[in-house]
Amino acid sequence: QKEVEQNSGPLSVPEGAIASLNCTYSDRGSQSFFWYRQYSGKSPELIMSIYSNGDKEDGRFTAQLNKASQYVSLLIRDSQPSDSATYLCAVPPRSSNTGKLIFGQGTTLQVKP
């Protein structure tokens, strides 16, 4: 089992729809969870972080965390073509105190006008 798993997609949604991106992780003791957005040929850009069970909202983005199920998701409301990118889920392993991140392979989102 990979430490952080994402469906590679592509996930295709129409403009204005809700995009739902999912991530599962294997380390039950993980405490922090990050979502990065990466445009083609560019570097990852942090868009959301979540530390507690439940939902965290920031503009059109909502991160959801369920530690019991080892599941974190990212919802993008009113999806725009500019949201088309790869979304990376990242988790620092409990075994390390360095803050290094373990990334999933990313989910490619395509928002069609």
Partner 1 sequence: DTGVSQDPRHKITKRGQNVTFRCDPISEHNRLYWYRQTLGQGPEFLTYFQNEAQLEKSRLLSDRFSAERPKGSFSTLEIQRTEQGDSAMYLCASSPGFMINTEAFFGQGTRLTVV
Binding footprint of partner 1 on the chain (CB under 8 A) = 4, 8, 31-32, 34, 36, 42-46, 49, 51, 88, 90, 92, 96-106
Q: Is the Cβ of residue 15 or residue 45 nearer to partner 1 in the bound state?
A: 45
Q: In this structure, which amino acid lies at residue 31?
A: Q
Q: Is the Cβ of residue 11 or residue 101 nearer to partner 1 in the bound state?
A: 101
* Closest distance to partner 1 from the beta carbon of 49 (Å): 6
* Closest distance to partner 1 from the beta carbon of 89 (Å): 8
Diameter over CA atoms, the chain: 44
Q: What does the DSSP assignment read for 1-70?
A: --SEE-----EEEETTSPEEEEEEES-TT---EEEEEE-TTS--EEEEEE-SSEEEEETTEEEEEETTTT
Q: Is the Cβ of residue 39 or residue 54 nearer to partner 1 in the bound state?
A: 39
